[in-house]
Amino acid sequence: ADEGREGTDPLDPNDTPVDSFEIVIPGTEIGLGAWDLIGMFGGIPVFSWILFGFVTRNKRCSRYEDLLEEAQSRDELEQVALKWEYSLMLRLLGPHQGIRLERIRSELDDKFENAENLMAVEEFEPMTEVDQTPIVEAQEKDIPEIGSSPSIRAEADQIDENGYSWLMHEGKQWYRTNSESHWFEFEG
């Protein structure tokens, strides 16, 4: 009867129904096959691990931030970085948290590097005041005073053989190429 139900030939001795492994839960009619058990033994621990990681991520990230802030040297920063990279590998921190921690580490590393560079300079004197006047003066543009050039309508005192118009205005010589252009100060 089982052979007919299972689709095997009852007259062939080599054709027998497969007797699969199954555990029946006592007091119920629920049977767990091999694949069910594999799924449970693999899935439940993995799900538990992922859930644990999600629930504890923020606290773990803030703990790493505190460790970074408490670090006193670049080597200590590197040790904290190795710890959180391991947590990232085990999925106990999210990628965005790893990026944030790396940004904080980088900023602190820059501060330590600057402090090391300042300590390396002999006769270090702290700067209390910075005089930026020479920088501003070097970059300052020569802007002509407003109203110092003659008006376009001013008549030329003379015109030379090359066609330039010349004018003496406020003690300075001015020239232009034609009668409708602006006057330019002669610096010669």
pTM of the model: 0.48
Q: Is the dihedral of CA 8, 12, 15, 19 positive or negative?
A: positive
Q: Can you say how many angstroms the Cα of residue 55 is from the centroid of all Cα atoms in its chain?
A: 26
pLDDT tens figures, 98-148? 999 999 999 999 998 888 887 776 555 666 676 777 776 766 665 555 657
pLDDT tens figures, 145-173? 565 777 777 888 888 888 888 888 888 88
Does residue 2 sit in helix, strand or coil? helix
Structure-model confidence comparison of residues 182 and 50, the more confident one: 50
The residues, ordered by sequence, that sit 6+ positions from 5 with a Cβ below 8 Å of its Cβ are 17
Q: What element of type H or E holds 48?
A: helix 34-70
